[in-house]
Amino acid sequence: MRRRDSWLIVLYWADKPSSMINFIIRVFKRFAWFKRLNAKVTYELLAKRIPAEEWQFMNYGYVPNENEKPLDITLPPETQRYSLQMYHYLASKTTIEGKHVLEVGSGRGGGAKHVAGVLKPESYIGLDLAQSAVDLANKIHQLPNLQFFQGSAESIPLEDNTIDVVLNVESCHAYGSVDKFLSEVKRVLKPGGYLLLVDFRSVENMNLLKQQLKNSGLKQLEEENISKNVVQAMEAEDDVKKERIKKLVPEKWRKLFGEFAGVVGSKLHTNLINGDRLYYRFVLRKEN
Ligand SMILES: C[S@@+](CC[C@H](N)C(=O)[O-])C[C@H]1O[C@@H](n2cnc3c(N)ncnc32)[C@H](O)[C@@H]1O
């Protein structure tokens, strides 16, 4: 390639920062070291650059099935209702009251606050790789049974057999090694303890995740494709989400951010509809 052509390519990318970032992520995300670095940089930056206290969730949301009891609590109008429902219906898969709960990948802490406040565990620890997300969560959510710590899913800073329920919401796609995460979950769970997990993947990677869960030594009790519930939530919340992006994100980053946030017409929204991506919910238990 001639030098002038290389400069043209550099100028093309420099003019389109979001396309460049998407391209780099697509190429490198097969490497575990890059996934760890990408998660750390992305989520540190997000909480640092957008410390808005009203933005408390980072999952795509959930509309419950007909057989799930409607949420009968009054929420402040600015609440991201569908993201909160993702937590509520996942946590409702087992008893939370009086239990010791660990959430891995707690983000900005809105889900932790809801579960710790409404479902009344004895204690709730939110663990996240990004120190700035942990600091933000500790600042905006204060409850006597709730604390947030920095730490990695692949090396959980807790003693063996101390936790009754591990929650994991739309986080493990970002880990360098899901196998390491699952062996850490098994180590910290008490016998009889639960892992409740939701996340999305390509079809191939969802098959891999199912295999990893099978090999984890935990017993799988439930597996459910909730893609349509997530698409419904994305569509129901789209106007509000776009307004929030307009308010919080500088113009040149809005397109990239819209993709990340799963607005209607984004790649993720389209792929969840056509089945190229899948969103699943799993319930597992440690037997001994
Ligand atoms: C899409 S966000 C979801 C946050 C939160 N669960 C929610 O639904 O609002 C993914 C979160 O996982 C965290 N994360 C990514 N890799 C991690 C790791 N190895 N250990 C702990 N947390 C991690 C990120 O920092 C981020 O806060």
User: Which DSSP state fits 189?
Assistant: E
CA 65 to chain centre: 20
Q: What pLDDT was estimated at residue 3? A: 57
**Separation in Å, CA 176 to CA 21, 29, 119, 196:** 19, 9, 31, 20
Query: Is any ligand 1 atom within 6 A of the Cβ of residue 171?
Result: yes
Q: What pLDDT was estimated at residue 5? A: 55
Instruction: Compute the distance between CA of residue 82 and CA of residue 64 in angstroms, rounded to an integer.
Output: 9
> Which residues does the chain have with pLDDT short of 70?
1-19
Query: Is any ligand 1 atom within 6 A of the Cβ of residue 103?
Result: no
**Residue 66 burial (10 A CB sphere; 0-12, 13-18, 19+):** exposed
Tell me, in angstroms, the distance from the centre of ligand 1 to residue 102's CA: 13
**Separation in Å, CA 105 to CA 167, 173, 239:** 9, 11, 27
Q: What pLDDT was estimated at residue 149? A: 97
Query: Is any ligand 1 atom within 6 A of the Cβ of residue 57?
Result: yes
For the domain bounded by 31-288, which CATH number is listed? 3.40.50.150
**Separation in Å, CA 133 to CA 115, 162, 167, 279:** 18, 24, 17, 24
At 145-160, the pLDDT tens digits run 999 999 999 999 999 9
Query: Is any ligand 1 atom within 6 A of the Cβ of residue 174?
Result: yes
Query: Is any ligand 1 atom within 6 A of the Cβ of residue 175?
Result: yes
**Ligand 1, from 88, 158, 171, 180: best to mutate by most atoms within 8 Å of Cβ?**
171
Tell me, in angstroms, the distance from the centre of ligand 1 to residue 58's CA: 8
Task: Please answer whether residues 167 and 101 qualify as being in contact, where contact means their C-beta atoms are separated by less than 8 angstroms.
Answer: yes
Query: Is any ligand 1 atom within 6 A of the Cβ of residue 282?
Result: no
DSSP bridge pairs for 201: 278
Q: What pLDDT was estimated at residue 73? A: 87
Instruction: Compute the distance between CA of residue 234 and CA of residue 241 in angstroms, rounded to an integer.
Output: 9
| Residue with CA at minimum distance from ligand 1 atom 4 | 107
44, amino acid identity: E
Instruction: Compute the distance between CA of residue 136 and CA of residue 145 in angstroms, rounded to an integer.
Output: 17
Q: What pLDDT was estimated at residue 29? A: 79
Instruction: Compute the distance between CA of residue 44 and CA of residue 171 in angstroms, rounded to an integer.
Output: 14
Tell me, in angstroms, the distance from the centre of ligand 1 to residue 168's CA: 9
Query: Is any ligand 1 atom within 6 A of the Cβ of residue 43?
Result: yes
Tell me, in angstroms, the distance from the centre of ligand 1 to residue 283's CA: 19
Nearest 5°: CA angle at 253, between 76 and 46? 55
Ligand 1 atom closest to Cα of 103?
A: 6
At 163-213, the pLDDT tens digits run 999 999 999 999 999 999 999 999 999 999 999 999 999 999 999 999 999
First to last CA, the chain: 60
Tell me, in angstroms, the distance from the centre of ligand 1 to residue 106's CA: 6
Tell me, in angstroms, the distance from the centre of ligand 1 to residue 104's CA: 7
Q: What pLDDT was estimated at residue 6? A: 55
Cα-based torsion angle of the residue sequence 13, 16, 22, 26 in order, rounded to the nearest 10 degrees: -30
Task: Please answer whether residues 61 and 85 qualify as being in contact, where contact means their C-beta atoms are separated by less than 8 angstroms.
Answer: yes
Tell me, in angstroms, the distance from the centre of ligand 1 to residue 128's CA: 6
**Separation in Å, CA 115 to CA 121, 122, 261:** 8, 11, 23
Query: Is any ligand 1 atom within 6 A of the Cβ of residue 105?
Result: yes
Query: What phi and psi values does residue 99 have, to the nearest 5 degrees?
Result: -100, 165
Q: Which long-range contacts (CB under 8 A, 24 or more apart) does 156-160 make?
A: 156/102, 156/104, 156/127, 156/184, 156/185, 156/187, 156/188, 157/127, 158/102, 158/125, 158/188, 159/188, 160/187, 160/188
Which residues lie closer than 8 Å to 80 by C-beta, 6 or more apart?
55, 56, 57, 61, 110, 237
Q: What pLDDT was estimated at residue 19? A: 67
Query: Is any ligand 1 atom within 6 A of the Cβ of residue 170?
Result: yes
**Ligand 1, from 42, 129, 156, 201: best to mutate by most atoms within 8 Å of Cβ?**
129
